[in-house]
Amino acid sequence: MRLPTRSLAIGLALALTGLISMIGADPAAAASHTQITGSGSSWAANAVNQWIADVNKQGLQVVFTSSGSAQGRKDFAYKTTDFGVSDIAYQGKDPITQTDDTSLGRPYAYLPIVAGGTSFPYHIGNGSAMIRNLRLSGDTLAKIFTNQITYWDDSQIKSDNNNALNLPHLPIIPVVHSEGSGSTAQFTAYLAKEYGQYWGPFNKGASEMTEYFPRQGKQVAQNGSDGVINFVTSAAGNGSIAFDEYSYALHANYPVAKVLNSAGYYTAPTQYNDAVALTAAQINNDPTSINYLTQTLDNVYVNPDPRTYPLSSYSYMIIPTGSNGTETKTTSTAQRQTIADFLYYSICQGQAEMGPIGYSPLPINLVQAGFTQIAKLHAADSAVDLNAENVTTCNNPTFVANQPTVNHLAQIAPQPPACDKQGAGPCAADVGIIIGNPNKDGSAPTGQTAGTSGTSGTNGGANGGATASRAATANDTNAAGGGTVDPLTGQTVANGAGGNSNVTGQSTNLAEAANNRGFSPVLYVLAVVLLLAVLVVPAVVGRHLSGREPGGR
């Protein structure tokens, strides 16, 4: 019995189409994505939300709640989130509340995601003018936040400013965080180490850091970084000073105090000064330690380099590393894949966006170490595909050709101006506050300051005023640049002796990267051949069969 020509053609077409489907079966099925959720640090939230906006355009769905570092660690421990973000590690037991601060058995790893400076935004209106070039020593800050200096025209504040500012007799309103905050932890760690004589008595006799600021007197507590900066910038905030990551003041176009460092210079929390300061950070480099990659900042506070911003630090993502056999919260392959791809973007391309929005990019040694932490997602679930994720695709302003231990931003960081030296100045508003990414020749940009009038600097990119008052997009900085990285050594090799060219955050299409993980050129060719067979073979067979029928039918 002969099959009808049309049925034979359809049968061949279906068979060949099925074969194509099997050959082209996307190994990216193992690399599919799903929505992930996280919570934690408001200090790092502007950075995290920038990356989320970037990858959302590419199909990755990430939801983050900036509830504070303490809550982020709790949410992760109670398995209500897929990841946490915290500025400090689990403490075992909170020193103030004495509540447990552990992951409750959930396996995890810390991964540095961004650096930055805990800054001191302030609001001092003097008649119709607003002071924008305030300088404060650490001693003065300690006394302000322990209620020992209470008016802006105090003689010690005047001395910090060389008696050159017209400071009003205005009550100081210290603004602190009401939540368990990484900003509080970073600031109080500095106070405990450097100014324990003030901090200990104020903190009920405990000269140690805390995430929960012991608000007293006329201090005002606000929830989260947004709440803190919103109070400072409000009409009710005249006379206020707060502590928070520099990004929030930059976004609001509000001034921050320059802080006196151990070299005798008042410096701002720019990406350059943070990078210099953090060359003195002590990082836990023991891969067997549960606190691998966490920071000790004692040497940062007293770094003798005159460019140092003393309150510089890193923030971390906490990621799940347990397999579903040991993990107390079942984590799907798609969730782990999304975490891996999101982190890959964040610590690579996403780092080039950090300087213009008030943070400082990670140095290459921490990026490389971050890849070892991401690899733990694959170790927990072998279906997680990391083939498209490696340091060779990073585009980071800190990388230096053939020098993986050197931070390029720290090398090119400009020296502070003479007017910022203790006993001189103070400088005019914003002098020396450079926020842009490096120029094409690898040098620091000039004229790119956190401006007071909304005017642009000389190099384009994230300049002053309105431009600096929002999160940068992937194309905000000057020009695409960077170079290639040796996949074996992790060292930048294509930029020449001049170091990095100006680096732009370039969005990588993560969905496309996932699709490219396994569909080889050979299979593409075979697929084309089979597709042609689907179209041609049925017609040829049909003509052959019709020629054999009587009457040509």
Q: Say yes or no to pLDDT of 318 above 50.
A: yes
> Do the beta carbons of residue 71 and residue 184 sit within 8 Å?
no
- Angstrom distance (rounded) from CA 187 to CA 164: 28
127 and 239 belong to one structural domain: yes
Arithmetic mean of pLDDT over the chain: 80
Residues 6+ apart with CB under 8 A from 357: 46, 47, 50, 247, 250, 251, 462, 471, 472
Query: What DSSP string runs through 514-537?
Result: HHTTT--HHHHHHHHHHHHHHHHH
Tell me if residue 24 falls in helix, strand or coil: coil
Residue 505 has pLDDT above 80, yes or no: no
How sure is the predictor about 93, in pLDDT bands with cuts at 50, 70 and 90? confident
Average pLDDT of the segment spanning 211-238: 96
Burial per residue of 35-57, b for 16 or more beta-carbon CB atoms within 10 angstroms, e otherwise = ebebbbbbbbbbbbebbbebbee
Q: Which residue has the higher pLDDT, 324 or 385?
A: 385
Count of domains observed in the chain: 2
Residue 122 near residue 255 (C-beta atoms within 8 A): yes
Does position 518 have pLDDT exceeding 70, yes or no? Answer: no
- Point out the domain boundary residue: 243, 273, 303: 273
Q: Is residue 512 included in any domain, yes or no?
A: no
In a domain, 238, yes or no: yes
CA atoms within 13 A on the CB side of 404: 14
Q: Using the 3D structure, point to which of 246, 273, 300 is the last residue of a domain.
A: 273
Sheet containing 312-320, strands listed edge to edge, beginning at the edge strand earlier in sequence? 62-65, 36-40, 83-86, 312-320, 108-119, 244-245
* 449 is a domain residue: no
Lowest mean pLDDT among 78-92, 263-277, 462-476, 494-508: 462-476
What is the per-residue pLDDT across 114-172, written as a single tens digit (0 to 9) for each? 999 999 999 999 877 899 999 999 999 999 999 999 999 999 999 999 999 999 999 99
Residues 6+ apart with CB under 8 A from 327: 106, 107, 320, 380
253 in any annotated domain: yes
Domain contains 420: no
Q: Are residues 13 and 154 in the same domain?
A: no
Give residue 127's domain range: 119-273
Residue 474 lies in a domain: no
pLDDT score at 462: 30
Do 11 and 155 fall into the same domain?
Answer: no
Tell whether 179 is covered by a domain: yes
State residue 535's pLDDT score: 53
* SS3 state at 360: strand
| Residues 6+ away with beta carbon under 8 Å from 435 | 250, 270, 271, 355, 356, 358, 448, 449, 450, 462, 463, 468
Q: Based on the domain organization, do 145 and 268 belong to the same domain?
A: yes
Same domain? 155 vs 13: no
Note whether residue 123 is domain-resident: yes
Of the chain, the end-to-end C-alpha distance in Å amounts to: 16
How far apart, in whole angstroms, are the C-alpha atoms of residue 12 and residue 5?
11
pTM tops 0.85: no
CATH number at 257 reads 3.40.190.10
Q: Of the candidates 241, 273, 305, which is a domain's last residue?
A: 273
- Average pLDDT on 462-470 reads 31
- Of residues 547 and 106, more confidence is placed in 106
The predicted pLDDT at position 302 comes to: 98
